[in-house]
């Protein structure tokens, strides 16, 4: 079977982000960009499924500006067989991404679509769910364990939910989004990095897929959270009660 | 440290709760340290916590017992101040520690009141627990018996303290982060500890030139964070960054991981403010790139380990932070390949090469066993040598292309057997943690005989192999270091310090190094450990001139005595 994995190019997790002076967004120029950590986990899971003999091909997909090819090269270096880059230089919201994926899935017909549960830049946690909705496919989000049955017909997925773990059984084809504890992604080894150079990255545009990018959302302003106020050491319980009552007004 | 083990044996006897100090240490060390303050800070603070913990548990267990333990400790402490040789038998280097210089005075209550006056009542530390910490070095190999630690906040206070100590002939030890690996930052006897840690202000930063002016007590990692915000980096980086202070770095001419790219502190330090032994403040705090006006005195203080003066302010040139950083963790079959890769890296990577480190298989095994949360980047097989190559540049695409071309060729020509390239900052940090974690892993494994040598690269590993032959199964010989700078960190790890093992190591290591015209201390300095070994790397005439300079700048010899220069040479001067 074929597995499609969505990977997003985001600001590196370890970078200290800064808001642009005009408050229109986060500073991304001259800042280290990498593959979204949850997407790495999704790709790792796909590769493990392939290594266990259950899948024939792992295809990495990324949507965004020209530099997305760097992220796709990382994916190929980890072991993906080929990649698709849907080039679009502007801002993308989850619904547009979901529509593009629907078009791609219709063309590629994978049995499994893996995504990270959320991207660390917008934290939307919407794309996987929207794609499943558009495709009318079953979905299991926040996966911490994925087990496929003998015939690749059913996936049993453990989900990390607020109350603990929930186990779902899904008929394939399905959408699964990955959570942190699913696996530990592999490093890109040199032999694989060399091999990745010859792997194919197919280029498409949203027009090729008949998708119109528009959004009903508009980011008005991005600001930093308010500075944390220094704490105060009080000298007595009476003082504490007084402050709670009169200043904080919580009692 | 005989008395410490005796005490801990007693503690174990009586209180079921108190477990072995070392296992507690391991437990606490498994707690993840913060971002990059790896080994050193976390280790220190956890040890302190553990000591406090033990103390408190002791009180709840048996009150009378506590009294007796303290009694024993006091008794043994008296032994120490008497300067009896038995204490020193536990030091790894049995080379005789000089006797306490009789011309030094001992502190009395008048001194304490004077210091209290100068420091305004705060910063005069006589508390035993705090002193315990300040008296012990990071490797827990040496311990002094100072009764007083001072924490000045201004250069003026340092000047007044030194002036007074000089007139009273009170010996002093300048102390920063106390991360010295050669016993240079702790007292040998009862020298007064002058801890510069409270002088930790950043005074100015010029965004155009990148020149930073700060006080000597600033912790290196804090300076790095400050500069990061401004788009600059410190020209040096070392594993101890979470604890070490810039004054100490300068006093020891610290090398570190980036010397290959940014050069030594002799090049990046533009100016210093130093206080001499008699309290004279030398203001050489220039911020000029070029200043050829007379003798450049600051170079005397860079690397003199606090024996010529106390550094109080620093002005340093910082390089801009470049966005494209790549890190490759590579494996080689033999040492010859490592050398060839170094040559290839220098020519093919050229100006973007920023670090070149190596570890041998023993070092790798040790780190992966002793430290938690580390993954082997190349788990598929064991390799004899590992090399870490870092590139830093301004253009990601350009650097990646160069690096990948270099790596492709290295693999094709068989120089490399395997390798991984970090794909994001987290992966890069985990590779660095492996290399930077070796000292900590050695500490956890037991006792370490640590040697820091500069040797011709072709010969470097021969020493390691000879040591392995000499010691056989008696010890684990671990080698790693700044291959790019020709600097080998040779560490011999055993369960306990053992004089028989030491006899097999010294003076063989020093003589071997001397024969190759190498340095017996590439970057760690001389401190106490190698004070009598100077002649292995310096001619008699040279050492005599060093002693003459010491006599001029510190006639009473109160600054960091018994360190750096051999006592025999110093006494012959007077």
> What pLDDT, on the 0 to 100 scale, is given for residue B383?
92
Say if the Cβ atoms of A70 and B420 lie within 8 Å: no
A31 in B contact zone (CB under 8 Å):
yes
Say if the Cβ atoms of A32 and B424 lie within 8 Å: yes
The string of DSSP codes covering A148-171 is E-TTS-EEEEEEEETTEEEEEEEE
From chain B, pick out residues whose CB is under 8 angstroms from the CB of A78.
423
Q: Which residues contact A237 (CB under 8 A, 6 or more apart)?
A: none
From chain A, pick out residues whose CB is under 8 angstroms from the CB of B404.
193-194, 197
Closest to B534 in 3D by CA, of B564, B561, B489, B504: B564
Using omega within 30 degrees of 0 as the cis cutoff, is the peptide bond preceding A173 cis?
yes
Distance CA B462, CA B516 (A): 11
> What pLDDT, on the 0 to 100 scale, is given for residue B380?
83
Q: Give the burial string for B156-180 (b: 16+ CB within 10 Å, else e).
A: ebbbbbbbbbbebebbbbbbbbbbb
> What pLDDT, on the 0 to 100 scale, is given for residue B110?
94
Backbone angles phi, psi at B556, to 5 degrees: -85, -5
For chain B, percent of residues with pLDDT exceeding 70? 83
Say if the Cβ atoms of A35 and B423 lie within 8 Å: yes
Question: Are residues B481 and B446 in contact, defined by beta-carbon separation less than 8 angstroms?
Answer: no
Say if the Cβ atoms of B375 and A184 lie within 8 Å: yes
Q: What is the pLDDT along chain A (251 residues), one digit of tens a residue?
A: 999 999 999 999 988 888 999 999 999 887 889 999 999 999 999 999 999 999 999 999 999 999 999 999 999 999 999 999 999 999 899 999 999 999 999 999 999 999 999 999 999 999 999 999 999 999 999 999 999 998 889 999 999 999 999 999 999 999 999 999 999 999 999 999 999 999 999 999 999 999 999 888 888 999 999 988 888 888 899 999 998 999 888 88
> What pLDDT, on the 0 to 100 scale, is given for residue B27?
36
The SS3 call for residue B169 is coil
Given the cut 0.95, state whether the ipTM is greater than it: no
> What pLDDT, on the 0 to 100 scale, is given for residue B23?
39
Say if the Cβ atoms of B411 and A15 lie within 8 Å: no
Say if the Cβ atoms of A188 and B429 lie within 8 Å: no
DSSP state of A56: S
From chain B, pick out residues whose CB is under 8 angstroms from the CB of A193.
404, 407, 421
Q: What is the dihedral of CA B558, B564, B567, B570, to 10 degrees?
A: -70
Say if the Cβ atoms of A14 and B429 lie within 8 Å: yes
Distance CA B11, CA B73 (A): 12
Those of residues 358-377 in B touching chain A at CB distance below 8 A are: 375, 377
Between A13, A31, A187, which is nearest B420 by CB?
A: A187
Q: Give the burial string for B336-363 (b: 16+ CB within 10 Å, else e).
A: ebbbbbbebbeebbeebbbbbbbbbebb
Question: Are residues A204 and A103 in contact, defined by beta-carbon separation less than 8 angstroms?
Answer: no
A77 in B contact zone (CB under 8 Å):
yes
Q: Which residues contact B419 (CB under 8 A, 6 or more apart)?
A: A189, A190, B328, B329, B330, B331, B378, B407, B411
Q: Which long-range contacts (CB under 8 A, 24 or more apart) does B505-512 make?
A: B505/B449, B505/B451, B505/B467, B505/B470, B505/B471, B506/B93, B506/B95, B508/B470, B509/B451, B509/B453, B509/B463, B509/B467, B510/B536, B511/B536, B512/B463, B512/B466
The string of DSSP codes covering B474-536 is GSEEEEEEEGGGTEEEEEEEESS--HHHHHHHTTHHHHHHHHTT-BSBSSS--TTTTGGGGGG
Whether pLDDT at B521 is above 70: yes
Class of domain B28-321 (CATH, top level): alpha beta
Q: Provide the phi-psi class of B379: left if phi over 0, else alpha when psi is between -120 and 50, else beta.
A: alpha
Those of residues 186-245 in A touching chain B at CB distance below 8 A are: 187-191, 193-194, 197
From chain A, pick out residues whose CB is under 8 angstroms from the CB of B422.
187
- pLDDT tens column, B236-255: 999 899 999 999 999 999 99
Q: Provide the phi-psi class of A60: left if phi over 0, else alpha when psi is between -120 and 50, else beta.
A: beta
In whole angstroms, how large is the CA radius of gyration of chain B? 24
Using omega within 30 degrees of 0 as the cis cutoff, is the peptide bond preceding B135 cis?
no
Q: Give the burial string for B480-510 (b: 16+ CB within 10 Å, else e).
A: bbbbbbbbbbbbbbbeebeeebbebbbeebb
Distance from CA of A58 to the nearest CA of B (A): 19
Say if the Cβ atoms of B429 and A191 lie within 8 Å: no
Question: Are residues B503 and B94 in contact, defined by beta-carbon separation less than 8 angstroms?
Answer: no
From chain B, pick out residues whose CB is under 8 angstroms from the CB of A72.
none
Q: Which residues contact B493 (CB under 8 A, 6 or more apart)?
A: B366, B442, B445, B446, B447, B448, B449, B475, B476, B477, B478
Helix B425-436 crosses helix B361-370 at what angle (to 10 degrees)?
Answer: 110
> What pLDDT, on the 0 to 100 scale, is given for residue B456?
92
From chain A, pick out residues whose CB is under 8 angstroms from the CB of B423.
34-35, 40, 74, 77-78, 187-188
Q: Where does residue A65 rank: exposed (0-12), middle (13-18), buried (19+ CB within 10 A)?
A: middle
Query: Residue B515 corresponds to which tokens in the numbers above?
Result: 């024969």
The SS3 call for residue B427 is helix
Residue spans of beta strands (DSSP E) within B135-247? 149-150, 172-175, 192-195, 202-206, 211-215
> What pLDDT, on the 0 to 100 scale, is given for residue B568?
85
Count Cβ–Cβ pairs < 8 Å, chain A vs chain B.
Answer: 68
Average model confidence (pLDDT) across chain B: 85
Say if the Cβ atoms of B420 and A15 lie within 8 Å: no
Q: Which residues pair with A143 in a beta bridge?
A: A159, A178
Say if the Cβ atoms of B420 and A184 lie within 8 Å: no
From chain B, pick out residues whose CB is under 8 angstroms from the CB of A12.
424-426
Q: Which residues contact B447 (CB under 8 A, 6 or more apart)?
A: B92, B493, B494, B495, B496, B497, B498
Say if the Cβ atoms of A13 and B422 lie within 8 Å: no
Question: Parallel, antiparallel, or unpaired: how do β-strands A2-6 and A112-116 relate?
Answer: parallel
Q: Which helix (H) or strand (E) holds B189?
A: none
Distance CA A199, CA A83 (A): 8
Distance CA A131, CA A129 (A): 5
Between A77, A188, A194, which is nearest B408 by CB?
A: A194
Pinpoint the alpha helices (H) of B36-171: 39-61, 63-81, 109-118, 128-135, 155-168
CA distances from A221 to A22, A23, A26, A124, B351 (A): 9, 6, 10, 17, 41
Helix B335-348 crosses helix B396-412 at what angle (to 10 degrees)?
Answer: 140
Region B2-16+323-515: CATH code:
3.30.70.2190
CA distances from B146 to B20, B172, B200 (A): 26, 10, 24
Closest residue, chain B, to A31 (C-alpha)? B323
Say if the Cβ atoms of A74 and B419 lie within 8 Å: no
Backbone angles phi, psi at A62, to 5 degrees: -140, 145
Q: What is the dihedral of CA B198, B215, B184, B263, to 10 degrees?
A: 150
Say if the Cβ atoms of A35 and B325 lie within 8 Å: no
Closest residue, chain A, to B325 (C-alpha)? A32
Least confident of A196-210, B29-43, B116-130: B29-43
Say if the Cβ atoms of A34 and B323 lie within 8 Å: no
Question: Parallel, antiparallel, or unpaired: how do β-strands A201-204 and A82-87 relate?
Answer: parallel
The gap from C-alpha B347 to its chain's centroid, in whole angstroms, comes to: 31
- pLDDT tens column, B297-349: 999 999 999 999 999 999 999 999 998 999 999 999 999 999 999 999 999 99
A165 in B contact zone (CB under 8 Å):
no
Question: Are residues A7 and A39 in contact, defined by beta-carbon separation less than 8 angstroms?
Answer: yes
Question: What is the pTM (predicted TM-score) of this model?
Answer: 0.81
The SS3 call for residue B414 is coil
Say if the Cβ atoms of B375 and A14 lie within 8 Å: no
The SS3 call for residue B564 is coil
Query: Residue B542 corresponds to which tokens in the numbers above?
Result: 């040279």
Closest residue, chain A, to B430 (C-alpha)? A187
A29 in B contact zone (CB under 8 Å):
no
Say if the Cβ atoms of A190 and B420 lie within 8 Å: yes
- pLDDT tens column, B458-502: 899 999 999 999 999 999 999 999 999 999 999 999 998 889 999
What residue segments make up the domains of chain B, in order of their start? Answer: 2-16+323-515, 28-321, 540-573
Say if the Cβ atoms of A191 and B424 lie within 8 Å: no
Between A13, A74, A77, which is nearest B425 by CB?
A: A13
A127 in B contact zone (CB under 8 Å):
no
Question: Are residues B52 and B127 in contact, defined by beta-carbon separation less than 8 angstroms?
Answer: no
Distance CA B392, CA B213 (A): 25
The string of DSSP codes covering A218-234 is ------PPPPPPPP---
């Amino acid at each position: 079977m074929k597995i499609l994995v969505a990977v997003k190019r985001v600001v590196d997790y370890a970078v200290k982000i800064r808001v642009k002076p005009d408050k229109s967004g986060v500073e991304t120029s001259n800042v280290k960009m990498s593959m979204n950590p949850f997407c790495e986990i999704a790709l790792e899971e796909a590769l493990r499924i392939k290594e266990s003999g259950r899948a024939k091909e792992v295809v990495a997909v990324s949507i965004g500006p020209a530099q997305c090819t760097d992220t796709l090269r990382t994916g190929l270096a980890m072991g993906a067989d080929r990649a698709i880059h849907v080039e679009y230089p502007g801002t993308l919201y989850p619904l547009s991404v979901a529509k593009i994926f629907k078009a791609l899935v219709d063309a590629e017909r994978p049995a499994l679509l893996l995504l990270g549960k959320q991207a660390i830049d917008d934290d939307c946690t919407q794309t996987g769910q929207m794609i499943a909705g558009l495709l009318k496919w079953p979905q299991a989000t926040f996966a911490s364990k994925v087990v496929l049955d003998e015939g690749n017909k059913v996936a049993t997925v453990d989900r990390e939910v607020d109350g603990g773990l929930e186990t779902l059984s899904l008929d394939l084809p399905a959408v699964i989004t990955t959570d942190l504890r699913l696996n530990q992604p592999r490093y890109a080894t040199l032999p694989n990095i060399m091999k990745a150079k010859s792997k194919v990255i197919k280029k498409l545009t949203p027009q090729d897929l008949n998708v119109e990018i528009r959004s009903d959302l508009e980011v008005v302003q991005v600001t930093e959270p308010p500075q944390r106020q220094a704490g105060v050491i009080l000298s007595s319980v009476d003082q504490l009660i007084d402050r709670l009552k009169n200043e904080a007004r919580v009692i | 440290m005989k008395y410490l083990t005796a005490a801990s044996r007693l503690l174990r006897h009586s209180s079921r709760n108190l477990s072995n100090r070392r296992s507690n240490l391991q437990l606490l060390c498994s707690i993840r340290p913060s971002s990059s303050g790896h080994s050193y800070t976390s280790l220190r603070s956890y040890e302190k916590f553990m000591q406090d913990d033990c103390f408190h548990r002791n009180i709840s267990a048996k009150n009378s017992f506590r009294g007796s333990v303290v009694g024993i400790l006091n008794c043994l402490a008296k032994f120490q101040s008497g300067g009896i040789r038995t204490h020193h038998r536990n030091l790894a280097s049995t080379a005789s520690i000089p006797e306490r210089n009789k011309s030094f005075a001992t502190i009395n209550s008048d001194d304490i009141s004077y210091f209290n006056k100068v420091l305004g009542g705060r910063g005069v530390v006589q508390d035993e627990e705090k002193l315990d910490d300040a008296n012990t070095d990071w490797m827990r190999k040496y311990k002094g018996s100072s009764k007083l630690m001072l924490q000045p906040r201004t250069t003026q206070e340092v000047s007044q303290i030194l002036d007074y100590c000089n007139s009273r002939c009170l010996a002093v030890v300048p102390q920063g982060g106390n991360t010295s690996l050669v016993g240079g930052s702790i007292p040998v006897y009862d020298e007064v500890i002058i801890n510069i840690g409270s002088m930790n202000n950043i005074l100015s930063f010029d965004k155009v030139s990148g020149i930073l002016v700060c006080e000597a007590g600033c912790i290196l990692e804090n300076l790095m964070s400050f500069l990061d915000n401004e788009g600059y980096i410190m020209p040096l980086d070392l594993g101890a960054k979470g604890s070490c202070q810039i004054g100490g770095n300068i006093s020891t001419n610290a090398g570190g991981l980036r010397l290959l790219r940014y050069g030594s502190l002799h090049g990046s330090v533009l100016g210093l403010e130093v206080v001499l032994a008699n309290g004279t403040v030398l203001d050489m705090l220039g911020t000029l790139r070029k200043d050829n006006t007379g003798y450049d005195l600051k170079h005397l203080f860079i690397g003199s380990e606090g024996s010529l003066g106390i550094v109080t302010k620093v002005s340093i040139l910082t390089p801009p932070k470049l966005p494209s950083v790549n890190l490759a963790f590579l494996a080689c079959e033999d040492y010859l390949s490592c050398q060839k890769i170094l040559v290839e890296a220098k020519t093919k990577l050229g100006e973007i090469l920023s670090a070149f480190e190596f570890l041998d298989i023993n070092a790798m095994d040790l780190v992966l066993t002793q430290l938690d949360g580390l993954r082997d980047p190349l788990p598929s097989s064991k390799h004899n040598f590992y090399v870490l190559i870092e590139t830093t540049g301004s253009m990601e695409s350009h650097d990646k292309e160069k690096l990948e071309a270099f790596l492709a060729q290295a693999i094709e020509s068989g120089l490399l057997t395997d390798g991984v390239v970090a794909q994001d900052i987290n992966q890069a940090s985990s590779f660095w943690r492996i290399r930077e974690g070796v000292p900590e892993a050695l500490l956890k494994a037991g006792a370490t005989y640590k040697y820091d040598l500069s040797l011709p690269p072709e010969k470097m590993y021969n020493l390691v192999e000879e040591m392995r032959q000499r010691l056989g199964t008696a010890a684990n010989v671990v080698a790693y270091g700044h291959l790019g700078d020709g600097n080998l960190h040779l560490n011999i790890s055993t369960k306990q310090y053992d004089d028989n093992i030491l006899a097999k190591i010294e003076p063989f290591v020093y003589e071997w190094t001397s024969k190759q015209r190498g340095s017996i201390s590439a970057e760690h300095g001389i401190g106490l450990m190698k004070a009598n070994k100077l002649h292995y790397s310096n001619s008699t005439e040279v050492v005599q001139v060093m002693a003459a300079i010491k006599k001029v700048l510190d006639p009473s010899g109160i600054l960091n005595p018994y360190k750096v220069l051999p006592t025999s040479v110093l006494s012959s001067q007077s």
